[in-house]
Amino acid sequence: MSEAIPLPVENPRRLHLDWVLPVLFSPRRAFARIAAQSGAVWLTPLLILTIMALIQVGVAGQIRQQAALAGGPVEVPPELQWMTPEDQAQFQQAMAATQGPVFIYVFPALLAIGSVWIGWLLVGGIIHLALTLLGGRGATGSAINLVAWSSLPFAVRSLVRIVAMLVTHQLINRPGLSGFAPQGEDNLAAYLAVFFSLIDIYIIWHIVLLIIGVRAASGLSIGKSVAAVVMVILSVSALQALLTFGTSRLASLTVIRPFF
């Protein structure tokens, strides 16, 4: 009597590059496959997002560095003329420091990496909570898988921006719908300009993919899926805009008034 020979166990793949195009262009079948996974399959999209974000930072940093070497105009505060020579020298030193590689490459790269990974965990956790409150099924791991793969449109956005900057040799100053923000110098207008800059066709693409994935994983109705996803994405975008606005204000105070 012959003994049965056990079949070798196939180790799960860590990278799923063959899923990228189906997720973007055939999302229903792709997300049904992703929702059926019991393990973590989020590594591939996050690596793509991180690489594209770092390339975008590098291209933008090169343009900023070239502008600094060319002696581009430096915005100075109106009160600079009333400062003492020592304070003016401190201001010039602070502005020179912001033109160094740390401010041009390192800090933006760290911010880009944090935006990808922390944003993914934040959205994944809130999506799972919202789906649970609405009666959906599925584990936290499934939610973060879906959020990771539905974020691939942001990699496409980075690619488009990289190509645009390489062709024009200029930074993208008014992304998204920022041109439709109300004009003004008050804080509300500045905040809305930041928030509108986050709204573009790619975030709408992301929302559509996430809705498809949520329906495949949770079994919720289309109405509940749309409500959960739109509510979460708008809330996170509003928080992101607030953090960006606050950081820009703080950086402005730090550079322009480092001596008060």
pLDDT tens sequence across 102-120: 888 999 999 999 999 999 9
- 54 in any annotated domain: yes
| Residue 163 placed within a domain | yes
- Global pTM reads 0.82
pLDDT band at 164 (very low <50, low <70, confident <90, very high): very high
Question: What is the predicted pLDDT for the residue at 7?
Answer: 38
- Alpha-carbon torsion (202, 205, 209, 210), positive or negative: positive
Structural domains in the chain (count)? 1
Residue 73 one-letter amino acid: P
Is 152 part of any domain? yes
Q: Name the residue range of residue 204's domain.
A: 41-67+81-256
Q: Is residue 57 part of a domain?
A: yes
User: For residues 103 and 68, is the Cβ–Cβ distance under 8 A?
Assistant: no
For residue 8, being part of any structural domain is answered with no
Distance CA 45, CA 42 (A): 6
Q: Output the CA–CA distances (angstroms, integers) from residue 214 to 138, 157, 228, 230, 256, in the order listed.
A: 9, 23, 9, 12, 46
